[in-house]
Amino acid sequence: MKMHNFCAGPSILPREVVEQTAQAVLDFNGTGLSILEISHRSKDFQAVLDEAVALFKEILNIPEGYSVLFLGGGASMQFCMVPYNFLQKKAAYTDTGVWAKKAYKEAKLFGEVEVVASSADANYTYIPKNFTVPEDVDYFHFTTNNTIHGTEVRFDPEVNVPMVADMSSDIFTRPIDFSKYICVYGGAQKNLAPSGVTFAIVRNDALNKVDRTIPLMLNYQTHVDGGSMFNTPPVLPIYSAMLTLRWIKANGGVEEMARRAKERADLLYGEIDRNKLFRGTCHVEDRSYMNICFVLNDEYKELEAEFIEFAKARGIVNIKGHRSVGGFRASCYNAMPLESVQALVDCMKEFENLH
């Protein structure tokens, strides 16, 4: 049976990326060696890292003066690296979900944190608007896509201070104006690669501005100087990331990724809004293109487990919502084919006919 995997993360990758990764595990570049067994400092792997960095810059149109780093520790490690490296006195954060909250809690260990807006009052079902960011902060941090709750900021906000963004779950799904950011980071396992690698794009001249001493491994400068090779980087996930970047480029870049994301989201939200059994959980204007959250209407609430089984019988898996939201979440990252979204929509229609 054809499987349609809507997992929120680690999530699906383009089929050819999975196949080429599997091939490299058996025989990397015709060397007769597995990519698992070679030195990260070998010529062959250095070429992979260089290509991954170059493609990052090309596809996202990253200006001169920024470094693309591949690190360990996940996006969660960035929650502390960001304030360690950039927070001298005070930073502004928005509180738009579980991840955003973890980020500002960590920042509080390093200085004053002003939470300028929060949607916690409505279980993070919307993106706060009309807030002001004080001008005396070192940076403004926000989460572009709230993976758990299903809201998204699909633009680069206008503020008068440098920005930092957690783009774990929507990097490479739209063009970004990097000149507004000193740091953009994310775990790779949502939209780029298997888990194990974290990307951080840092503006070089924003580094070394804080007074504190930063441990070597947590200092971005160490990894800029070491070209992401200060210590052993996650070799296999970087290889897969490079393959995904090739795939994005060959498939029309971020403009085309944005078009496909909207097409998938329009199809699924359209059905959620039409179908008498279901409703969306977030404010319409803030709905994520990546993580589409919905629930059964109250009078059909008891059908939740049945719908999950019904979908599973049709090859549609991993649609259970996060425990803090309930209901369903269909994650539709770049690699998600429209046919899989159509399969879910057809399944929802079929289920409606039964009830």
Give CA–CA dist 103/91, Å, rounded: 11
Interaction with ligand PLP in 5-34: which residues (CB under 6 A)? 9
Return the residue of 29, 46, 76, 204 that touches ligand PLP, per CB under 6 A: 76
Which residues are within 8 A (CB) of 40 and not within 5 positions of it... i.e. 6 or more apart?
A: 229, 232, 233, 235
Q: Which stretch binds ligand PLP (CB under 6 A): 18-26, 161-169, 280-288, 302-310?
A: 161-169
| 327 lies in the binding site for ligand PLP (CB under 6 A) | no
Which residues are within 8 A (CB) of 194 and not within 5 positions of it... i.e. 6 or more apart?
A: 10, 13, 21, 188, 236, 237, 240
Nearest CA to 224 among 37, 341, 65?
65
Active-site residue, from 95, 166, 170, 286:
166
Active-site residue, from 170, 190, 286, 320:
190
Contacts with ligand PLP by CB under 6 A: the residue count is 12
Query: Quick one: 170 or 271, whose CB is closer to ligand PLP?
Result: 170
Query: Quick one: 14 or 237, whose CB is closer to ligand PLP?
Result: 237
249 in active site: no
| 318 lies in the binding site for ligand PLP (CB under 6 A) | no
Return the residue of 28, 45, 93, 99 that touches ligand PLP, per CB under 6 A: 99
**Number of other CB atoms surrounding residue 280 within 10 Å:** 18
Least Å from the CB of residue 265 to ligand PLP: 17
Give CA–CA dist 120/98, Å, rounded: 9
Q: Say how many Å lie between the first and final Cα of the chain, rounded.
A: 25
166 in active site: yes
Return the residue of 128, 187, 233, 280 that touches ligand PLP, per CB under 6 A: 187
138 in active site: no
| 152 lies in the binding site for ligand PLP (CB under 6 A) | no
- Please answer whether residues 158 and 137 qualify as being in contact, where contact means their C-beta atoms are separated by less than 8 angstroms: no
Q: Which stretch binds ligand PLP (CB under 6 A): 71-79, 200-208, 311-319, 336-344?
A: 71-79
| 191 lies in the binding site for ligand PLP (CB under 6 A) | no
Give CA–CA dist 36/89, Å, rounded: 43
Catalytic residue ranges? 99, 166, 190
**Residue numbers at the binding site for ligand PLP (CB under 6 A):** 9, 74-76, 99, 143, 147, 166, 168-169, 187, 190
